[in-house]
């Protein structure tokens, strides 16, 4: 589960649908990423990070 992504999205008051539209993905894809059931491409990760004004590490680095 990617709680970091979900929290960053919620901090900016952006719905899954709004984030999906901004990064050119489907709402279902964003939901699956947040659930940890889909590994997005690097390009999609970068687009999400830029949209949420976070680094890739902030959103996708797994802590031990």
Six-digit token pair at 52?
């949420």
Residue with tokens 């990617």: 2
Of 43 and 64, more confident: 43
On whether the CB atoms of residues 27 and 20 are closer than 8 A, the answer is: yes
pLDDT digits (tens, 9 = 90+) for 7-61: 999 999 999 999 999 999 999 999 999 999 999 999 999 999 999 999 999 999 8
Using the predicted structure, report yes or no on whether residue 63 has a pLDDT greater than 90. no
At 15, which CATH number?
1.10.260.40
Q: Round the CA-based radius of gyration of the chain to a whole number and report it.
A: 10
- The pLDDT of residue 64 is 65
H or E stretch at 51: helix 42-52
Six-digit token pair at 28?
């279902």
On whether the CB atoms of residues 59 and 44 are closer than 8 A, the answer is: no
- The pLDDT of residue 30 is 97
Q: Report the domain count for the chain.
A: 1
Range(s) of the domain holding residue 13: 3-60
Six-digit token pair at 1?
């589960």
């Amino acid at each position: 589960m990617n709680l970091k992504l979900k929290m960053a999205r919620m901090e900016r008051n952006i719905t899954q649908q709004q984030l999906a539209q901004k990064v050119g993905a489907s709402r279902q894809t964003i939901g699956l990423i947040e659930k940890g059931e889909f590994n997005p491409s690097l390009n999609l990760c970068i687009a999400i990070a830029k949209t949420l004004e976070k680094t890739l590490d902030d959103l996708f680095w797994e802590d031990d």
